[in-house]
Each structure stands twice: as C-alpha cells, then as structure tokens.
A and B are shown apart, each in its own frame.
Chain A
Amino acid sequence: MSTGGVDSRRVVFSWVMLAPFLVLFLVFVVYPLIQSAFLAANQTFGPGTRTFVGTKNFELLISDPVFWKAIRNTFIYALGSLFVQLPIAFLLALALNSPKLRGRGIYRLIFFSPQLMGLVFVSILGALAFEKRAGLINQALDAAGINDLLVWVTGNDAWLEPDWLQQHVMATLILISLWLYVGFNMIYFLAALQSVDKSLLEAAEIDGAGPWGKLRHVIFPSVKPVATFVILLSMIGSLQLFELPYILLESSGGPDNKGLTIVMYLYQNGFDLGDLGFASAIGWVLALILIGLALVQVKLTRAQEVNA
C-alpha cells in the first residue's frame, strides 16, 4: 500500500470529521456575521422587508441619548461586578484555601450553588426579594437597622424604604449578580491558589514575610494569569447583560431606562420593533467594544510577560 493512499484516506477522513462542524459553522456563524454587516446599513420591518439607509443607523445610534444611557448602565454593572464581586470572590477563595479549614467542601458547594440557577429563575426570585417595603431584602435591612443607618448617613429619608427596582436598578442588579456569580469566580481563584508553589511560600516565611508580604510577593504574582482571565471573562459577560434586567423590569428598560442595557436596547429594537438593521448596528458597536477590551487585555498580558 502506498503512503499516498493512506494519506488521501486520512485527508478524506479529516474532512468527513470536520464536515458537520464546518457546515453548521459556515451557515450559522460566518454567513450571519457577513449578513449583519449588510443589515447594519438597512432598516427592516421584520425579516421580510428591508430598505437601505446607509450609515443612518450609526448616526442615529450615536445621537440617541437612550443608547448612551444603555452604555452607561452596562458599564456601571460591569465595573460594579469587577470591583465588588471579584475582590469578594478572591477573599472567599483565600479563606477556603487552607486545607485545615473544616467543612471547606460544604462551604464551596454552598457558595457555588446559585450558579446553577438560570438567570431567568434568579430574576424572578430577585423581583420578589427586592420589592419595596415587603420584599425579603428590605425586611432584613429594616430588621437589622441598616435602613435607619442609611437615612442617617445620607440624610435622605427615601432610604427608609428603598425602592430597589425603580430607583436603584443597577445596584440591585449588581447585588443579585453578586449572589449569583461570587461562588463561580471563587472556584477559579481557588484553582489558581492551589497551584501556588508551596516552597515559595515557605521560603517567604523563612525570610520573615508576614501574611501581607506573602500575599503580595508570592500569591498575587502567581494568581495573576488566572485573575486577568477572570476579569476579562467577567467583563465580557457583564457587557452582554440581558436576562436579569429583562425579566426583573418586565421586559422594559425600567423607569427612565435606569436598567436598560446594551443588549436589551438591541432586543427592543430588533425584536419588539422589528428593526433588525438597527439591531445589527448596535450589535457591531457592542462587538467592537468587546474586541477592543480583549485586545487591551492581550496587550497588558504581553507587556507583563516581557517585563517578567
């Protein structure tokens, strides 16, 4: 048997194995991707009807204050997740990292469990829990005296019965996502912490480093790659926030669009109003933001590796 025969058989095999993926990928990813570029230059009334509008979609987008509000809200949420959720996740991971800690498996399981609930189900739970006055959260805050404290600190008696779902939508979303995702991110950090070189820690201890010194000189540098990955993942996920506010605010952007996110804005225009062209334009803006973020991330990681 000639090697050519084996090779060509193998090549045929390769393409047969690839075929299902390639067909689906070309039809359902590549083609729509190209289409979305054309769509973005059209206005549509449902998928059957379209008319060319050139760059008007983008002009409108930029001049629409609602779009900027959606951008602002989405970034508030993303940064909120970044600066509230990830540090807490890291601290939890640190606490659970000690092998001597009793019950760490159970703690891990508990903190992780909300991740199993889909966003839809969490949103419904959240809508009930954050109701004004009678919701679980306000009752708990009231019982703990935190409401009075907030009134005292802010001098605003509206905090006596905070209206989470109408007035503090983004804060509510950040709090709900804290419950939902903190355990998930903790798992990443735990995995990273477990890969910290024990001998380095011992060496640091011999050098007389305290807990803070160990954290700064040994632990931080070794979890950095995972941390940057988690940050990127969290930003990408946060910027595509949709289900949570969509269900929580009963498919609107909430009063004064306080809870409108970029993807909700896309959904409203594309699927409520039927303008798939405008929705594609929004999609492209979002994609550019995400790709920009990813590039910055790659650049930063490269720079670190060069420095190291």
Chain B
Amino acid sequence: MHRITNTILALRGLSSGVWVIATLFVISLILVLVRQPEQEGDLQFWVFSPEHAEMYAPLIEEHDASHGVKLDMTVMSIAAIQSRMMSGFFGGLPTADLIEVEKAVAPQAFMGPVDAIGFHDLTDLLLEEGLLTQLNEPSLSPWSVDGRVFGLPHDVHPVMLAYRADITEAAGIDLTLAETWEEYFRMLRPLMEDKDNDARPDHTPLSFWYTNQDLIETLMLQGDGQLFTPSGQPVIANERNAFLLATIVSWCVGPDRVAIDINEWSASGHQEKVDGLAIGYIAPDWMCSIWKMHVPGLEGKLKLMPLPAFEPGGRRTSVRGGTMLGIPKTTQQFDRAWDYAKLLYTSPEVARQLYREVDIISPVRSLWDDPVYNEPDPYFMNQRKGRMYIELAPGIPLRPSSPYNKQAAIDVRDAALNLAEYANRNSVYNAEDLIPEAIRLLDRVQARVEQRMSRNAFAAEDLAAGDGEAQ
C-alpha cells in the first residue's frame, strides 16, 4: 500500500507542464479515436478547386442516384494532390479513381517512359467515341506524350489583355487600335508622366516582370517561341527565343521601362491594380473570375482586347494554365470512372456553369455556340467576353508536353532575370543589343536541360521489362 502512496507522492512532484501535456494527450487521443472515418464510396475523385467541386456536386449526385454508384469527391490543394498523386505513382499508395490535375504538377506525372505514366491512355477511347475531333486540338497538347492523350482537357485558357479602359478613355486613347506591343507602349507613353511626384510613373503600360515565370512562358508562346520539338528534343537556344526574351526583358529595364511588377495574387497587388499602377494585364479566361472575386472595385473599369502582337500580323493570343482529368492506372473501375469523366467534362450544363461561375470556356467545340458565351459581362463594361475568348481559342499556341518543360521554363525565367541584371549592370536597355547575351544565356539553359535529360538512368525498355525493380 505504501508503495502506491509513494508513487503518487513522487508523481505529485512532477511539474505542471507534464500534467498539461498528459491531459492534452488523453483528450486528443480520445478525440482521434472517436473520430468517425468518412463513409467510403465506390469511387474516389480528387479536385483542387472548390468552385469546380460546387459545380460537379449536383451532377454527381444525380448520376450516383440513377446508376446506384457512389463517388466521393474530395477537395484538396494543388500541393496536396501533387504529393499524394506522386507518392501514389512512386510508392504504390492508393490514389483516387479520378484526379483533376493542374498543369503546374502534371509534368511530374509524365516523367519517365510512356509505359510508366500513372494515368490511363485515353486516346483510343476518345477516337472510338468521336470525342477527339470535338475537342479543341491545342487544348490536348499539354496532356499528350508521343501523340497519346492521358487526360481529358478541362479548358482552353486563351489569353487576352485586360486594360483600364476608364483611364485610357479619359485620356482619349483608343487602345484597340494597337496591333503590336510597340504601338501599345507608344500609345500609353503620355500616361506615364509622374504627376503625383512619387518618383514613379503614375500609370505603367503593362503589368509584367522578368521574374514571373508564368507570364514569360505565356509571352514566349505567343511569339512562337519553342523550347522543345514535338518529339521532345530541347531546342531552347534558338534565335526566336533569344529575340523574344530580349524583347520582354527590355520592357522591364532602363529609365524608360514600360512594365511594372504588380503581384498577381497578393492583396497588396490587388490594391495596386485598383490604384491604376498598371494599365494592361495579361488575362487568361480564368483570371477574370479571380479579379471579380478579389478586385471587385474594378467592376466597370476594365475592358478586354486581343493581345498586341510581337510583329504586325502576329498571333494575338496565347495560353496560360490548364487542367486535365485523368484516370490513374490503379483504378479498379475504369468504366465507371470514364462515365463520370465524360459527364463532368463534356456536358453542356457543366460547360455553361463553368463559364458563369469562373469565366472558363469549354474545350468542347460543339458547345461553343451556346448562348451563354454571348452574355454581356458588366465587370468588363458589358463586353461579350465569352465570344471574344472563343474566337481566339483555336489559335492558341501548342504547348510541349515534355516532362522537362516545367524545369526548362524555370531555367528560362532565370535566364530572363540574368539578362535583366546584365542590362542594368551595363546600361544596355535596347532589345536588339540584348540579343547576343540572351543567346549566351539560352545556350546555358539548353546545356542544363540536356544534362538533366541525360541523367535519367531509367531506359524505357528496362522499366517495361520490369528490370528497374532492382530491389
């Protein structure tokens, strides 16, 4: 008996911290244990966008009811989808039966030989069901490897220029007349005066910066810059790329710079948009909904126009971002998953909602005649912006599906940064004079990408034969 008393006495001497933590342990253990595991459905579906999920929910419910199946939809961040998908593909952990994959993470899924890709090859099915011809062709390119399609495209994401029409029109400038970037910048020169004496122009023509990898990629694609051949060979160090890189970097350097780095996502950046620090913004269709949500104050002050081209007669649009729906090879129920995929990605109701809710136009060409795209949009001074985007949709540039594209694009961004530093250091601000240095920097990128590609010790036949499983 006195041993127990002794123990109690001894324990009483322990500090309060120990008791607090012990209590927390007991409480949290109980909470973790009583937590009800979610009811598992027959199929799992991962989505990264809450807006998408909201649109899909009623359709899924209806389909579930009529087919006697249950599909669980889980909203996860892009980062979470990426890490789960990759640890699934790498480590054989269970993944979902359907995964919505954002372009930023897709290349990793396409790494390695075609046979090792974790998604089902949908090409033959798409052909059989006649879907392939209905889809906007350039929309397939990011999800294809060697001509095989591994996901249903969700979107087209053509790009226009959103500009502060309230400011330009007050100044009597008609920007729609600007056909090239050069003309565009020249027309806006008068607005760059520093009337409020804060040592920077009151309005800078374009929101763009040499550190923004996405926008660099978008602009280089617009100008037909090419990082990889269709068969996946890197062709980064070419003259066209050097010209484009030098041109867009020249916008951001020197005393007469015409671009400003406004943060695209932060609240401070949104405030600067309201303040009119920049006139023009590179706007893919999905960006419209982001602006509506985060910069409501600009309603009725913006207009859209096709991008000014790099040369007269050049391409007036580009592409940015994108999503696909893939079916991992680990699924036990391919046919059911495929049914859901078609329902969610090709039905007119979803397409209509997709446009109404998040301003995204469908890649299914047969749906493009839908009147929803003709609705005037009050946020953009009642422009019929859906129609405008659709007119540009067939002309968006093709994107390489090389798994090395993402890293190459990052390296090109670094080259842009180095070029800007070179320009500032040597006070060389003219695009033409920057080209030699741009070529030198792109040569370096090319070498790096080649090195990275040659590093892959997994030969395709090894993996196909299962020899890669050395362990």
Q: Do chains A and B touch in the complex (CB under 8 A)?
A: yes
B72-125: which residues lie under 8 A (CB-CB) from chain A? 79, 83, 86-87, 89-92, 108, 111-112, 116
A251 CB contacts on chain B under 8 angstroms: 79
One of A22-30, A40-48, A173-181, A280-288 at the interface? A40-48
Contact among A48, A166, A257, A274 with B92 in the assembled complex (CB-CB below 8 Å): A48
The answer to whether A50 touches B471, judged by C-beta atoms less than 8 angstroms apart, is yes
Task: Confirm or deny: B443 has a beta carbon within 8 angstroms of a beta carbon on chain A.
Answer: no
Tell me whether B414 and A255 are in contact (CB under 8 A).
yes
A51 touches B268 (CB 8 A): no
Q: Which residues of A contact B91 (CB under 8 A)?
A: 46-48
Smallest Cβ-Cβ distance to A151: which chain B residue: B199
Q: Bound complex: CA of A56 vs CA of B112, how far in Å?
A: 19
| B211 and A274 form a contact (CB under 8 A) | no
B458 near A255: Cβ-Cβ < 8 Å:
no
Q: Among A51, A60, A133, which residue has its beta carbon within 8 angstroms of that of B468?
A: A51
Q: Select B470's contact among A52, A163, A257, beta carbons within 8 Å.
A: A52
Q: Which residue of chain A has the shortest Cβ distance to B198 in the bound complex?
A: A160
Report B452-469 CB contacts with A as 1/0, cut-off 8 Å: 000111100011000011
Interface residue? B413 (CB, 8 A): yes
Q: Nearest Cβ distance between residue A46 and chain B, in whole angstroms?
A: 2
Asked if A37 CB lies within 8 Å of chain B CBs, one says: no
A273 at the interface (CB under 8 A from B): yes
Give the distance to chain A from B289, nearest Cβ to Cβ, in Å: 21
Min C-beta distance of B262 to chain A, whole Å? 9
A43 engages B457 (CB within 8 Å): yes
Verify if A132 is at the interface (C-beta below 8 Å from B). yes
Would B266 and A45 count as touching, CB distance under 8 A?
Answer: no
- B470 and A45 contacting across the interface, CB-CB below 8 Å: no
B385-418 interface (Cβ within 8 A of A): 410, 413-414, 417-418
Chain A residues lying within 8 Å of B268, measured Cβ to Cβ, are 131-135
Total chain A interface residues with beta-carbon distance under 8 A:
34
Tell whether A272 pairs with B108 under 8 Å between CB atoms, given A48-B469, A163-B261: yes
Establish whether residues A49 and B211, one from each chain, have CB atoms under 8 Å apart when the complex forms: no
| Contact, CB under 8 Å: B261 / A132 | yes
Query: Which residues of chain B are within 8 angstroms of A56 by Cβ–Cβ distance?
Result: 457
- Asked if A48 and B90 make an inter-chain contact with CB atoms under 8 angstroms apart, the answer reads yes
Interface status of A256 (Cβ within 8 A of chain B): yes
Q: Which of B414-471 contact A (CB under 8 A)?
A: 414, 417-418, 424, 455-458, 462-463, 468-471
Cα distance A12–B471 in the bound complex, in angstroms: 38
Determine if A53 is an interface residue (Cβ-Cβ < 8 Å).
Answer: yes
Any chain A CB within 8 A of the CB of B271?
Answer: yes
Whether A45 contacts B271 in the complex (CB less than 8 A), given A251-B79, A256-B417, comes out as: no
Interface residues of B in 316-362 (CB under 8 A from A): none
CB distance from A284 to the nearest CB of B (A): 18
A48-B92, A133-B268 are contacts. A252–B457 as well, Cβ < 8 Å? Answer: no
| Assembled-state Cα–Cα distance A52/B211 (Å) | 38
A contact residues around B51 at 8 Å (CB)? none
Partner of B410, one of A52, A134, A252: A252
If A52-B470, A256-B414 touch, does A45 touch B112 (CB 8 Å cutoff)?
A: yes
CB <8 Å contact, A45 and B458: yes
Q: Chain B residues near A60 (CB, 8 Å)? A: 455
**What is the CA–CA distance of A47 and B199 in the complex, to the nearest angstrom?**
55
Distance, CA A272 to CA B89, complexed state (A) = 12
Q: Which of these, B108, B418, B462, contacts A273 with CB under 8 Å?
A: B108
Which residue in A46, A131, A158, A160 is a CB contact (below 8 Å) of B263?
A131
Contact A51 B418 (CB under 8 A): no
Q: Looking at the assembled complex, report how far the CB atom of A186 sits from the nearest CB atom of chain B, in whole angstroms.
A: 22
- Say yes or no: B266 contacts A131, CB within 8 Å: yes
- 24 A-B pairs (CB sep. < 8 Å): A42-B470, A43-B456, A43-B457, A45-B90, A45-B116, A46-B87, A46-B90, A48-B91, A48-B92, A49-B458, A49-B468, A49-B471, A51-B458, A53-B457, A56-B457, A134-B271, A134-B272, A160-B200, A163-B211, A252-B410, A255-B211, A255-B413, A255-B414, A256-B414
A-B pairs, 3 with minimum CB distance: A46-B90, A134-B268, A256-B414
* 9 additional A-B residue pairs with CB within 8 Å, beyond A158-B424, A166-B261, A274-B111: A45-B111, A45-B116, A132-B268, A133-B268, A160-B199, A163-B211, A256-B418, A257-B414, A273-B108
